[in-house]
Amino acid sequence: MARVSVTSPPGWLSNTYIRITCISGTDGEGQVSKRHILLLVLTAVLSLTAGIGLKAYFFFNPEPETIRERIEHDEETGRINILLLGLDKVPGEDVNRPDSIAFVSIDIDDKVVRLLSLPRDTRVQIPGRGWQKLNHAYVYGGVDLLKTTLVNYLGVPIPYHVIVNLQNFPELVDLIGGVTINVPKRLRYTDKAGGVHIDIPAGEQHMDGKTALGFVRFRHDALGDIGRVERQQIFMMTVFHKIKDPAMITKIPELIRQGIRLVKTNLTLSQAVQLASYLKDLDPSRVVFRTLPGKAAYISGVSYWLGELDDLSEILTEKPQEDQDDTTEEEAVGSPEAVVLEDMKDTLASIRVSLSVLNGSGVGGIGKEAATRLQTLGIDVAHIGNAKHYDYKYSNLLYPPGEETETAAHSLGRLFGIAENLVRKDPSVRNVTMIMGHDYPDIFKKIDLARDR
């Protein structure tokens, strides 16, 4: 007779093989029946295929409980926390520095991904090094010290990390066919010594890998690191939308292969594939992007981002936009609060000119503080200085001749409650100029209100 045995070494989808052993036994003519052997082999193959198919189905379509069993998570919240890190080469240094730092929290039960970008200049206490900028932790002790620093700072466990070297970044972008992004203003910067040349026009641009790298690296405007964080979030959301395109399905195997080569992570391949499989049908609306709230400040001559952690718990539990309330569209649009917020967004979006900020209050540092707060709203501040005198009881807005500058000045006046008669044309100024008067505390409150909303 013929015995068919199926052997499968331990491990998922391992190399399973079939062994056919012929044992003494004959059919009517004294030979092993070929018909019997074929039947046995077919039965074994079908059984084997069904077993592998069932195992593969559950592997590529995992349930939340399976994810929790195989991937370390926060026992208190049930979330999987990951440090996402982009490294860039700094001219003249042997060690790469983090160019982008983000904390990713994946809510397994609710299937929500929350990404919190952390400015690299965030002031943190690095174990053994004191208060310094966040990205210095990587230079001192690699990803382990950076994770320890963030665990202490944020108060949540971070077992995993994913590191992308920006030198490999263009390859990954080119692999998905580039990205199309609406650039709000021209981005231009040249550093001959560092070999950096960025020149991206305003408007909708289809970017290859090299151009996209310039987009996410650019920080040479009034918003500095905060502006770069915003651009990086725009890029990530654009990529997320693109890989959801059915046309990308055929490229997924190559993306995984290249990703393994270009990305470093302590997630095992099995964990990464299962996590990706679990999130493969995630709607983009269930991805929440946020930047660590705070303000820019100088301490002992060094610029920092001072993070505000009071609302961190709320940020890390924030629901996607679609879940935030059950009001109808008509009710939301019709409410006074919604109208005010929409008007505020439109007003800010209409301000496309650079500002000069002058201190007319006589209180030291008010000009710089006003500029910093305006920059958090996405308003470009090109110049900071002192007014001709410090007797301004109320803040003023001056603008050079031109329809765009006039519109911007009056928009700012409405936004910050500056009286119409204090918003006026002045041919002697080059930019829309905001002169901070003795009412600067009220102006600051209105700026902060606009920022928070």
Q: What is the pLDDT of residue 274?
A: 82
Measured between alpha carbons, how far is 254 from 251 in angstroms, rounded to an integer?
5
Strand pairing of 130-133 and 123-126?
antiparallel
Q: Tell me, what DSSP letter sits at residue 247?
A: G
Contacts of 19 (CB under 8 A, 6+ apart): 4, 5, 6, 7
| Contact by Cβ (8 Å): 108, 68 | yes
Q: Is residue 81 domain-shared with residue 189, that is, in the same domain?
A: yes
Q: Is residue 25 domain-shared with residue 103, that is, in the same domain?
A: no
Q: Name the residue among 102, 114, 121 with its Cα closest to residue 164.
A: 102
Q: Name the residue among 210, 229, 235, 75 with its Cα closest to residue 156.
A: 75
Q: Which DSSP string do the residues of 335-351 spell out, in sequence order?
A: SHHHHHHHHHHHHHHH-
| Contact by Cβ (8 Å): 447, 374 | yes
Per DSSP, helices labelled H in 198-335 are: 209-217, 224-243, 252-262, 269-279, 312-316, 329-334
Measured between alpha carbons, how far is 414 from 420 in angstroms, rounded to an integer?
8
The number of domains in the chain is 3
Q: Which DSSP string do the residues of 24-83 spell out, in sequence order?
A: S---TTSS--HHHHHHHHHHHHHHHHHHHHHHHHHHHS--HHHHHHHS---TTT-EEEEE
Q: What is the pLDDT of residue 35?
A: 54
Domain boundary (294, 323, 352) is at 323
Contacts of 371 (CB under 8 A, 6+ apart): 222, 355, 357, 381, 384
Q: Is residue 144 domain-shared with residue 247, that is, in the same domain?
A: yes
Query: For residue 38, what are the domain limits?
Result: 2-60
Domain boundary (323, 355, 388) is at 323
Q: Is residue 151 domain-shared with residue 270, that is, in the same domain?
A: yes
Which parts of the chain sit beneath pLDDT 50?
Answer: 1-30, 32, 43-60, 324-342
Contacts of 283 (CB under 8 A, 6+ apart): none
Q: Is residue 301 domain-shared with residue 196, that is, in the same domain?
A: yes
Q: Is residue 290 domain-shared with residue 419, that is, in the same domain?
A: no
Q: What is the pLDDT of residue 246?
A: 74
Q: What is the pLDDT of residue 33?
A: 55
- The amino acid sitting at 68 is R
Q: Is residue 317 domain-shared with residue 333, that is, in the same domain?
A: no
CA angle 414, 419, 425 (to 5 degrees): 90
Q: Name the residue among 229, 210, 189, 217 with its Cα closest to residue 89.
A: 217
> Which residue is listed with tokens 């901070």?
436
Measured between alpha carbons, how far is 13 from 27 in angstroms, rounded to an integer?
37
Q: Is residue 275 domain-shared with residue 303, that is, in the same domain?
A: yes
| Contact by Cβ (8 Å): 304, 336 | no
| Contact by Cβ (8 Å): 425, 446 | no
Locate 361 and state its tokens.
Answer: 């209050």
Q: Is residue 202 domain-shared with residue 290, that is, in the same domain?
A: yes
Q: What is the pLDDT of residue 1?
A: 47
Measured between alpha carbons, how far is 134 from 441 in angstroms, rounded to an integer?
31
CA torsion, ordered 66, 72, 74, 76, to nearest 10 deg: 50
Phi, psi for residue 98 in degrees, rounded to 5: -65, 125
| Contact by Cβ (8 Å): 114, 105 | yes
Locate 25 and state its tokens.
Answer: 């036994």
SS3 170: helix
Residue 87 β-bridge partners: 98, 165
User: Positive or negative CA dihedral for 253, 257, 262, 264?
Assistant: positive
CATH number for the domain that contains residue 143? 3.40.630.190
Q: Name the residue among 287, 284, 280 with its Cα closest to residue 252.
A: 280
Domain boundary (323, 341, 356) is at 323
Q: Is residue 79 domain-shared with residue 168, that is, in the same domain?
A: yes
Q: Name the residue among 215, 265, 254, 259 with its Cα closest to residue 238.
A: 215
Q: Is residue 92 domain-shared with residue 134, that is, in the same domain?
A: yes
| Contact by Cβ (8 Å): 366, 436 | yes
CA distance readout (Å), 57 to 12, 51, 67, 390 = 11, 10, 14, 73
Q: Is residue 310 domain-shared with residue 254, that is, in the same domain?
A: yes
Q: Name the residue among 185, 186, 287 with its Cα closest to residue 239.
A: 287
Q: What is the pLDDT of residue 245?
A: 75
CA distance readout (Å), 337 to 184, 320, 333 = 27, 20, 9
